[in-house]
Structure 1
Amino acid sequence: MTWRNWARSQSAEPREVHAPVTAEDVQHVVERVRARGGTLRPVGSGHSFSGAARPDDAQLSVDGLAGLLGVDPERRRATLLAGTKLREVPALLAPSGLAMDCLGDIDSQTIAGAISTGTHGTGLRHPSIGATVVAATLVSGTGEIVRVSETERPELLPAVRLGLGVLGVLVDVTLQCVPAFALQAVETTLGLDAVLDDWMGLNERTDHFELYWFAATRLAATKSNTRVEGPLRPRSTVGRFLDERVLTDVGHRALLGAAALVPALAPSVNTLAARAMPRGSFTEPSHDVFTAPRAVRFRELEYGLPIAAVPEALREIDRALRRADLVLTFPFEARASAGDDAHLSTAHGRDTGYIAAHRWWREDPRPLFDIVEPILLAHDGRPHWGKLHSLRAPELAERFPGFSDFLRARDELDPDRTFASSWTRRVLGD
C-alpha cells in the first residue's frame, strides 16, 4: 500500500497500517511495534507538506478515533477524539452554543494533526489551535496511557500542545472554546505598499487580517474579518460557488496552466488573479469564513517572524525575485497570530507574523524556496513544522527557545524512539 500526502510531496510504503478505534487498540499497536523493535508514525489527513507523517516502518491512522466525548458548558470546554476532522467540529459543538476560537484556512485536518504540527489562523488576540488545548490523553512510546491536564502532569502541556507525533499517539484532546460567533468579512484588493505601511495598524484594528500578494504586482488582496453576534448576511449559493470554486479553484487552475505553458504571461496572469480574487462583504458563521476548499494542489514553505518584521521581509523577497527574474503564479500569504507557550511553537513567547510561499505542485519549488528561506531566516524566522524547510536539529535548536525542554519530554515519553523516523531524526536529532 502506498501512502501519499495531499500535496504529493511525500510518499511511503508502510510495512504495516493500523486503524485503531479505542485507546486500548492504540496501546496494542504500540506494544506490538515496540516489541519487534520497529517504529510507528501516526497520521491524520495527510495535509502536512513536510515528512512529519511519513513512516519508515509502520503507520497508524487516527481516523477511527473520531467524535465528541463531552462538553463542559460552564467552563466552555469540549473533549474530542483525536481523529475528528476540523470540518466536523462546528456541528458537534453547535448544540452547546460553542465554537473553536480560531481556525486556519482549511478544515480537512484532524484535530490531532492540526495540534501536532502547529496549525494556526489569524489575529493578534488569537493563538494557534494547540494553544487552546487544556487536556489530552495519549499513548506513550512505552504503551502507557498518559493523561495531561492543568492538574495532571501540567508540566507536559507545553510539549503536548505541539508534539510532532513523537511524544505518543493522541487519543483525545480537550479544547478551550468560546461562545459561537459570526464573522463580518470584508475582502478587497489594495495597493501593496499602502498595506505594508499600515501592517501593524491593520492587525491591531482588525480581529483577523491577512493579505495575499502576487509576485511582480503592486497589489494585495486583503481579508479583514470582524467578530460579531449577527445578524447574518451570507453569500448567495451562486456567490459562494463563484468565490470558492470558479475564481479560486477552476479559474486559478486555468491561469496556472496558461502561465506554465507561456511563462511570459506570468506578470499579466498575476495581476488578473489579484483583481479576480473574491471581493465584497458578508457575515457568516465563523467556520464558514475562516476556511475554504483547497482543490488546487501546491507546495508550501512558511516561517513565523517577529510581527513587525513582515513588511520589510516581503519587500526584500520582492526585490530578490525581481533580481532572479523569477515570476510566480501562486500568491504569497501574510498573517499574524498571538504568542503562546508551546515549546516548539513558531509563536513561542512572541506575537508572530507569518509569511508563506507557495508553488504549484507541478512546478519545482526549490528555486523559489532557495530565494525566500534565507530572507526569512535573516529576520529571526522559525519554520512551520508542517511545511517544507531545509533546517536540521542543530539549527532548529537555536531558533526555538523551548527545544531542549521538548527533548526532555520526549526522552520521558518515548525513551526507545518508537515514534522516530528519518524526518524526526533530521529535525530533532537522535
Structure 2
Amino acid sequence: MKQVQWSNWSGSVRANPRTVLYPASIAEVEKVVRMCRQEGRRLRVVGSGHSFTPIAASEDCLISLDRMQGLVHVDAEARTATVWAGTKLKLLGELLFRQGLAQENLGDIDVQSIAGAISTGTHGTGRAFGNISTQVVGMAVVTGTGEVLECSGESHPDWFKALQVSLGTLGIIVQVTLRLEPAYKIEYESRRIPLGECLKQQARLAEENRHFEFYWFPYAEPCQIKLMNKSDQELREHRIKDYISDVLVENTFFGLISELCRKLPKASPYVSRLSASQVPLGRKVNYSHRLFATRRLVRFNEMEYNIPAESMNAVIEEMREEMSRNKYHVHFPVECRYAKGDDIWLSPAYDRDSAYIAIHMYKGMPYEDYFSAMEHIFLRYGGRPHWGKMHHLEAAQLKELYPMWEAFSAVRQELDPDGILLSDYTGRLLDVSGPISDSFSDIG
C-alpha cells in the first residue's frame, strides 16, 4: 500500500490517490472491494493509463492489475483462451502465438491491458470486424458488492452485453475469455495517394481488403493508405528499413518537428505537408500481432468519434472546409478507420456499421478550439465518442446516442448498488453519484 501521483500516458490527467493497490489474485480483489464498500470509499481500476480522459483516475483507491497477467486456460479445439485481465495486448499476442492462436483484429496500439481495451471499446480497422469487445465470450468479474460473477452471453445475456463495454463501472474484470483463430500472417502495404482519390476509392478499398485505414494530413494533398490482408507468403522483414521508418522517421524525426510546431505554431501546415511527403511506403509480411500495432513515442492528446460508415466522405469534406476557414495549427494526421456494427449496449458501433475518425494534437499544444470545432461536425452526423478519448458530452447527450442506455443503467445499479466503482467523472457520464467526492487535474 503506497501513495503516489498518477498520470495518464499523455499527461492530460493527473490524480493523487489515497491508496494504490496491486492485487495478485481474485481473492485479493474481492477483499479490496469489500473494504471499500464497508468504508464508503471509491475504487477505480487502471490498466496502462492510455485513455485521454479521467476514466481510470481516482483520488481515493486505485487498483492496478499489473500483477494479474498471463494465460489462465487455453482450449485449442474450441479456439478460446482465458487470460488474466491485466494482461497487456502486446504480451497477449506473443502468448497466444506460442499456442498457435491469434486475435482476429487489434488496434494500432498494443500497450493497453485487455480489460482496459474492452472496457472502453477499443477497436482496430476492418469492415468485417467489431471492436475488441466483440471477441469476448466470457468474463469473471468482481462486482461492486464483492461477489465473483462468471458471466457469458448464455449465462447472463443482459449483464454480459453491459459488461462488454462497461467503463469499469459494473465490476472489476479479473479474467477474460476470448474467441480466437489460428495464428496467421498478414501482408501490410503502405501507399501514398491524393486525398480526393482516396475518398473516391475508400468504400471499395474497405470492402476489398481485410483491414483498410487511411491517414489524412491537414493542409496537404497526399494521404497515406494502409492495407492489410491474410498471406501465405514467407516472412518479409526489413529490420534496418523498418527501424528507419518506424523509429527514426515516425517517432524521432516526427518528435523533433512536433517540437518545432509547439514553439512555432504557424509552421504546422508546412510540417503537415512535409510529413505527408515522407510517409514510409512499401510492403512487409509478418504474423498479425506483430503488424497491427505501431510504436508511439511522440505523445499527444486525442479525440475520436464513431460515425455511420456511409458518412465518412461527407464528414471529411466538412472537416476540410472548417480547417480551410480557420487555419488550425495542426500537423498530426487524421486517422480514419472502419468497424462492423455490434449489439453491445455502450459500444460506439452499436447497431451500425461504422467509421472512426481520430484527431490528434501534440502534447503541449492548445487543442481545445480544434477539437471542439471537429466535434460539432461529428455530432451533426450522429457521432458517438470513443470512451477513452477526449470529448465534451455528458449524460443527457450520451443518453440520446445509445438506445440501451437505461438498460445499462439498470445493470449498473444491480451490480454496484452503492456506487463504489464510480468517480466524479464516470458519475457525470452516467448521471449517477457515489459516496464521496473526487477531483482530478486536467492539465491539457
Specify the TM-score bucket, using the shorter chain as the normaliser. Answer: over 0.9
Aligned residue in 2 for 1:81: 84
Aligned residue in 2 for 1:30: 33
Aligned residue in 2 for 1:64: 67
Residue of 299, 304, 307 corresponding to 1:305 = 307
CA deviation string 1:42-83 (max 9, x = no partner) = 110100011110113111111111110011111110100000
Aligned residue in 2 for 1:274: 276
TM-score (norm 1): 0.98
Query: Could you tell which deviates more after superposition, 147-156 or 78-87?
Result: 147-156
Q: Distance in 1 between matches of 2:71 and 2:289?
A: 17
Aligned residue in 1 for 2:96: 93
Aligned residue in 2 for 1:342: 344
Aligned residue in 2 for 1:49: 52
Aligned residue in 2 for 1:146: 149
Q: Tell me the amino acid that sits aligned with residue 54 of structure 1.
A: A
Aligned residue in 2 for 1:9: 12
Aligned residue in 1 for 2:266: 264
Q: Matches of residues 103-122 of structure 1 in structure 2 within 5 Å?
A: 103-122=106-125
Residue of 239, 242, 252 corresponding to 1:240 = 242
CA shift in 2, pair 1:80/1:170, >3 Å: same
Determine if contact 1:56/1:422 at 8 Å carries over to the other structure: no
Identity of aligned residues (%): 38
Aligned residue in 2 for 1:176: 179
Would you say 1:379 and 2:381 are equivalent positions?
yes
Q: Distance in 2 between matches of 1:395 and 1:350?
A: 19
Would you say 1:203 and 2:206 are equivalent positions?
yes
Determine if contact 1:186/1:224 at 8 Å carries over to the other structure: yes
Would you say 1:229 and 2:224 are equivalent positions?
no
How far apart are residue 142 of structure 1 and its match?
0.4
CA deviation string 1:82-125 (max 9, x = no partner) = 00000101221123211011110011000010010010000001
Determine if contact 2:262/2:364 at 8 Å carries over to the other structure: no
Determine if contact 1:321/1:327 at 8 Å carries over to the other structure: no
CA deviation string 1:220-270 (max 9, x = no partner) = 111111112332212x22112112111110011111122233333322211
TM-score (norm 2): 0.95
Q: Distance in 2 between matches of 1:204 and 1:151?
A: 32
Q: Distance in 2 between matches of 1:13 and 1:56?
A: 5
Q: Distance in 2 between matches of 1:183 and 1:426?
A: 42
Query: Could you tell which deviates more after superposition, 118-127 or 214-223?
Result: 214-223
Residue of 187, 191, 194 corresponding to 1:188 = 191
Q: Tell me the amino acid that sits aligned with residue 263 of structure 1.
A: P
CA deviation string 1:150-172 (max 9, x = no partner) = 33223221111111110100110
Aligned residue in 2 for 1:417: 419
Q: Tell me the amino acid that sits aligned with residue 57 of structure 1.
A: D
Q: Distance in 1 between matches of 2:232 and 2:131?
A: 22
CA deviation string 1:380-400 (max 9, x = no partner) = 100000000000001001011
Unaligned runs of 5+ in 2: 433-444
Residue of 342, 361, 364 corresponding to 2:363 = 361
Would you say 1:329 and 2:325 are equivalent positions?
no
For these two proteins, the number of residue pairs brought into alignment is 429
Unaligned runs of 5+ in 1: none
Determine if contact 2:153/2:161 at 8 Å carries over to the other structure: no
Q: Tell me the amino acid that sits aligned with residue 427 of structure 2.
A: R
Q: Distance in 1 between matches of 2:259 and 2:146?
A: 49
Q: Distance in 2 between matches of 1:27 and 1:231?
A: 48
SS in 1 for 2:331: coil
**RMSD of Structure 2 on Structure 1 (CA):** 1.0
CA deviation string 1:320-353 (max 9, x = no partner) = 1111121311111001011111110011111110
Determine if contact 1:216/1:327 at 8 Å carries over to the other structure: no
Q: Tell me the amino acid that sits aligned with residue 397 of structure 2.
A: E
CA shift in 2, pair 1:264/1:17, >3 Å: closer
Determine if contact 1:206/1:225 at 8 Å carries over to the other structure: yes
Determine if contact 2:90/2:110 at 8 Å carries over to the other structure: yes
Q: Tell me the amino acid that sits aligned with residue 420 of structure 1.
A: L
Residue of 316, 324, 334 corresponding to 2:318 = 316
Query: Could you tell which deviates more after superposition, 268-277 or 101-110?
Result: 268-277
CA deviation string 1:173-222 (max 9, x = no partner) = 00001111111111011100111122211100111111111111122111
SS in 1 for 2:123: coil
Q: Distance in 1 between matches of 2:17 and 2:164?
A: 27
Aligned residue in 2 for 1:217: 220
SS in 2 for 1:223: strand
Determine if contact 1:321/1:371 at 8 Å carries over to the other structure: no
How far apart are residue 273 of structure 1 and its match?
0.3
Query: Could you tell which deviates more after superposition, 259-268 or 282-291?
Result: 259-268
Q: Distance in 2 between matches of 1:52 and 1:213?
A: 28
